[in-house]
């Protein structure tokens, strides 16, 4: 699989930070045009290096090849060929840099690389392209005619990005872990349903605003009717390791950007906390109805935390580290 690294011609820069300890000043190197850099300058000769923090632009292959993403990353000291990979999926504010920074100290202390893709509003406008991953041309009005092929789904970028990272570090990683908060948790739980055979290992979904619940009688995007999901998708999805991760105080029905309508309110409830509980209960019921393995867990609700991605990341670490 081939991926292209793009260097913006006018002002895009790739920034690397390298330091020997937290008490020393970091070295910052900015590459604005690789062809014009003096060979004598002390710059990294690779895109991804041990003990570095920065951003690069990734261009997927296939139908989404014109939809570039900035990838914010942090790599601790260690052997890049074997360091685990964590993807951190941002919320609706599209603030990937913050979702990378949530994990920097934890990555340093526990020895894993973190990559936060930014699904920018230019290339991935609205929830249809991010939360609902372009599964349908209009996710709120699904139909067989508007059901996109898998290579058009935003989900398809993630395994490509993983392979690109492996190639850059000559890595031997076979899987990656992922964490998503808010809209990122919406993206991630649907990713598991629609691409259950991806290279994802452990997933933690924190404080999603609402869910595609595996229950019949409810129209997609809230239920299975019209979703084009087969039982085989559900069986494979339930075999993945997924943690439903909720803040105990994320119970404000008037929270900014929280979706409300008669369907989702009547089905899932009025706030993120009760909706997450409902999703897990109904998922477990569906697995029992299918007589299949159910490898999902609902974690203890995080005390004294509402809709705060940094606090939820701190608590999510222990689930990401489980193997």
Residue 46's pLDDT is: 84
Answer yes or no: is 24 within a domain.
Answer: no
CA angle 121, 9, 47 (to 5 degrees): 85
Residue 45's pLDDT is: 65
Answer yes or no: is 255 within a domain.
Answer: yes
**Residue appearing with tokens 């002002």:** 11
Answer yes or no: is 229 within a domain.
Answer: yes
Q: Is the pLDDT of residue 9 over 70?
A: no
Answer yes or no: is 264 within a domain.
Answer: yes
CATH number of the domain enclosing 164: 3.40.50.1820
Compute the mean pLDDT over every residue in the chain, rounded to the nearest whole number.
89
Q: pLDDT tens digit string along 116-164? A: 999 999 999 999 999 999 999 999 999 999 999 999 999 999 999 999 9
Query: Into how many domains does the chain fold?
Result: 1
Answer yes or no: is 84 within a domain.
Answer: yes
Extract the tokens encoding 101: 């920074």
Extract the tokens encoding 120: 């920018």
Answer yes or no: is 219 within a domain.
Answer: yes
Q: Is the pLDDT of residue 1 over 70?
A: no
* Higher pLDDT, residue 17 or 79: 79
Could you list the residue range(s) of the whole structural domain that residue 302 is in?
53-320
pTM above 0.85, yes or no: yes
The band of 12, judged by pLDDT with boundaries at 50, 70 and 90, is very low
The band of 15, judged by pLDDT with boundaries at 50, 70 and 90, is very low
**Residue appearing with tokens 């697995």:** 287
Q: Is the pLDDT of residue 293 over 80?
A: yes
Answer yes or no: is 27 within a domain.
Answer: no
State the average pLDDT over residues 172-179.
Answer: 98
Answer yes or no: is 96 within a domain.
Answer: yes
């Amino acid at each position: 699989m081939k991926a292209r690294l793009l260097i913006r011609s006018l002002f895009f820069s790739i920034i690397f930070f390298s330091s020997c300890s937290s008490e020393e000043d970091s070295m910052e190197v900015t590459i604005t045009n690789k062809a014009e850099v003096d060979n004598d300058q002390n710059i990294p000769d690779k895109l991804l290096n041990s003990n570095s923090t920065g951003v690069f632009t990734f261009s997927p292959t296939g139908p989404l090849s014109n939809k570039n993403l900035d990838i914010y990353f942090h790599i601790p000291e260690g052997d890049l060929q074997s360091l685990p990979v964590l993807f951190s999926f941002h919320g609706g504010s599209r603030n990937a840099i913050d979702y990378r920074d949530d994990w920097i100290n934890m990555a340093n202390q526990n020895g894993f690389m973190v990559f936060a893709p930014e699904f920018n509003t230019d290339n991935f406008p609205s929830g249809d392209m991010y939360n609902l991953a372009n599964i349908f041309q209009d996710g709120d009005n699904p139909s067989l005619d508007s059901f996109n092929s898998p290579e058009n789904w935003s989900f398809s970028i993630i395994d490509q990005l993983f392979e690109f990272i492996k190639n850059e570090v000559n890595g031997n990683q076979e899987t990656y872990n992922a964490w998503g908060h808010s809209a990122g948790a919406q993206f991630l739980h649907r990713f598991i349903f629609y691409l259950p055979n991806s290279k994802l290992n452990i997933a933690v979904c924190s404080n999603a605003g609402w869910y595609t619940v595996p229950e019949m009688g409810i129209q997609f995007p809230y239920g299975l009717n019209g979703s084009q999901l087969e039982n085989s998708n559900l069986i494979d999805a339930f075999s993945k390791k997924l943690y439903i991760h909720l803040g105990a105080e994320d119970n404000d029905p008037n929270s900014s950007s929280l979706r409300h309508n008669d369907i989702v309110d009547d089905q899932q409830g009025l706030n993120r906390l009760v909706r997450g509980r409902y999703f897990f209960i109904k998922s477990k019921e569906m697995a029992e109805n299918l007589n299949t393995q159910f490898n999902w867990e609902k974690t203890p609700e995080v005390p004294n935390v509402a809709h705060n991605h940094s606090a939820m990341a701190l608590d999510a670490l222990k689930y990401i580290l489980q193997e």
